Chain A
Amino acid sequence: MLALVFVAFLPLAWLLGNALITVVDAKRSAREWFLEDRVVAGIFVLIGLAEGAYLAAMTRGQSVSAFTKYYGILLIAAGVVSCLVTPVFAWIGKKRGWPNRQGLSLDSVKKFERREWIVIVLFLVLVLAQAFMLLLRTSVFLEYDETLETVVSFLNTDRYYEVNPLTGQPYEQGMPMRLKILCLPALLTFLTKITQADPELVTWHVFPVITLLGAYLAYVSLARSLFPEKRFYRCLFLLTVALLVFVSDYAYGAEGFGLLHGGFQGAAIRGAVMMPWVFGLCIRRKWRLVPLVILAEACIVWTLYGLGMNALVSVSFLAYLGLEKLLQRRKEGRQCLNS
């Protein structure tokens, strides 16, 4: 069952992300958004749906089973809507003459060179090694984390935060609401419940692999933004990223550390999946999906009233672009005066 969920995850994320991108950026959807963009966007949609279901269950004091029901309904509804959206927009696009070329059309696919194959194989070996490490080793950093205890508590009491996850005793003073509304532990509980798997297996091993996958998809998208023409250097960029994941695993807070020792934590997902994708969006000047990431971050990380790192990065990147434009204009003005 766990393997089935794992296998179904990618197509589901693609379906939801594809529909969202089709709606949000219909005219350019086919040409300027890539497969990995659609999957990563789908991951954030899945997080958003989980938050909706969780808030519905938690605020009304309902059980974990109620969340499972709500989330299931939302997933089915979103899946059906997504299935309908794509053909409808394709029909509208055809009527209005929107370009229908895919982001990576067949004629632009050149045959891979030998050196590209070597880099791709090395990259895949590193990614697989990391995935196996996550699946086989229990190397988790827990000093700042109580996710597994929370999941086990939810499963045991069938209620959200009825007891303190660390002690199993009822709360005396309660807990911060901003933490209580984060949906990640509920999502992990949902996965554990529907797969009937061991909470530890889902939380510490399988979910971090999904995060790892999401991170590499985000980096593939960023690589396309940074190296649109040079495919070999794009592959080399990805190989360097895979090496850096290993290299940076000594540093708490670094992406590699988060991916290898805390892929079930919101902050790790933010650092390794959301941020690279947002940087890619900023570089490509594609702002329409940035709010989606900002909202997804608010669902899994304690933010300043919803304003997290993605909001900061997007705003500061916009400010940087504005400043750059201003300086460019001044420079051009001076050149005009001189000539």
Chain B
Amino acid sequence: MLELLRNAWKGWLDATDAGKLGALLLLVFLLVWLWKLGSEKQKDLFRYGAVMTAVCICPVSAVLLMLYQTKFYDYEWIWTAVPAMAILACGGTLILERLWEKADGKWARIAVTGMALAILLLCGKLGNPKWTVQDVSTQREEVAGVLDQVGEATGGIGCLWAPKEVMAQARSLDGSIRLLYGRNMWQEHLNAFSYDGYSQDQRDLYAWMSLAGAYGTLNVPVPADLDVVGEAPEAGGTLEGIACIQKALDLGVDQILLPGVLTEDSLAEVERTFSVAPKKIGQYWLLSFERKD
């Protein structure tokens, strides 16, 4: 319960950080009330919206709403109960109508319209990148190219272990590929979709792959601020590449894509240990083992 309360408060802070639409909503309520705007039906919308807005802002009632919408959804989604877009559009239209009535002449009305439009647009995405969504088509094309090459080189991909960017796209590009772990390894919310979890070995392998890409060596030190879901490997310790690759093979991996930044010495050591020659595929090194299925 306390955690939910904290989430509700944090969700509200995030919402106020991220933009100004909430403030605009309150301004619309204020102006509509002060200027006594709207027909009976419109007033129904505003009054109902005002009550629900208060319910969403107050942490205690917000928690109750969060419980009602199941814990699966975050704080942001309780705002679905507030017809915010309808209120903003309806209120904005009524306010504009009133301002046009008061404006003296055509140019004054144009100025009022321009100002209203500017206010609306200024409430949009202004520099807060928190939820910025990037176009992923280029990344997907690159990964698709890599997977094609891996498929050609190995006669079909079995269970794959690769850097994060490949693992993130692989399953949505080819349903026949199996992965050592999926996006839920680093996107915690996705764990709600399944009761399955990951073993510490799998988490270590994810950490090793990320760190090997950063350091370019087989044996990588574990930093204290490692960002992983679940229990992180011990900070200050070392994750050894050869042991990690062996662990991956024990877990059933057939193909491994190693980061292209790995040094030649590291690759030579891998080749010596596993008797498999790394093959350059795009910006990665492919290790292909005999398929176990």
Contacts and interface: CB of A to CB of B under 8 A. Distances in A.
Interface string B184-202: 1001011011111100000
A172 B198 CA distance: 11
Contacts of A171: 194-196
Nearest to A270: B80
A224 to B, nearest CB: 11
B183 A146 contact: yes
B135 A137 contact: yes
B171 interface: yes
Interface stretch (B64-72, B229-237, B261-269, B273-281): B64-72
A168 B157 CA distance: 12
A253 B86 contact: no
B93 to A, nearest CB: 5
B174 interface: yes
A271 B175 CA distance: 30
Given A137-B137, A244-B89, A250 B124 contact: yes
A174 B195 contact: yes
Interface residues of B, number: 78
B68 A307 contact: yes
Contact of A138 (B68, B137, B187): B137
Given A167-B171, A249-B125, A270-B80, A144 B179 contact: no
Interface string B80-97: 110111101110111011
A56 B105 CA distance: 65
Interface in B193-219: 193-197
A139 to B, nearest CB: 5
Contacts, number: 229
Contacts of B72: 302
A124 interface: no
Nearest to B202: A167
Interface stretch (A8-16, A90-98, A149-157, A206-214): A149-157
Interface stretch (A17-25, A71-79, A310-318): A310-318
Contacts of A267: 73, 77, 80
B90 A226 contact: yes
B181 interface: yes
A256 B176 CA distance: 34
Interface stretch (B1-9, B46-54, B148-156, B242-250): B46-54
A222 interface: yes
Contacts of A156: 175-176
A259 to B, nearest CB: 10
Which of A140, A167, A171 is most buried by chain B, counting CB atoms within 10 A of its CB? A167
Given A152-B171, A166-B179, A250-B124, A320 B194 contact: no
A255 B79 CA distance: 10
A257 B89 contact: no
Given A174-B194, A247-B123, A252 B76 contact: yes
A244 B88 contact: yes
B52 A316 contact: yes
A166 B175 contact: no
B36 interface: no
Contacts of B86: 219, 222, 226, 241, 276, 279
A313 B89 contact: no
Which of A200, A254, A257, A302 is most buried by chain B, counting CB atoms within 10 A of its CB? A254
A178 to B, nearest CB: 8
Nearest to A153: B175
A230 to B, nearest CB: 8
A275 interface: yes
A54 to B, nearest CB: 17
Contact of B172 (A152, A167, A172, A275): A152
Given A171-B196, A225-B41, A139 B181 contact: no
Interface string A123-151: 00000000000000111111111101100
Which of B83, B93, B128, B130 is most buried by chain A, counting CB atoms within 10 A of its CB? B93
Contacts of A157: 175
Given A152-B175, A253-B77, A254-B84, 12 more contacts: A142-B187, A149-B171, A175-B195, A226-B41, A236-B96, A246-B124, A251-B131, A267-B77, A275-B80, A279-B45, A279-B83, A304-B68
Top-7 shortest CB links A-B: A253-B76, A166-B182, A156-B175, A173-B195, A250-B125, A168-B178, A247-B124
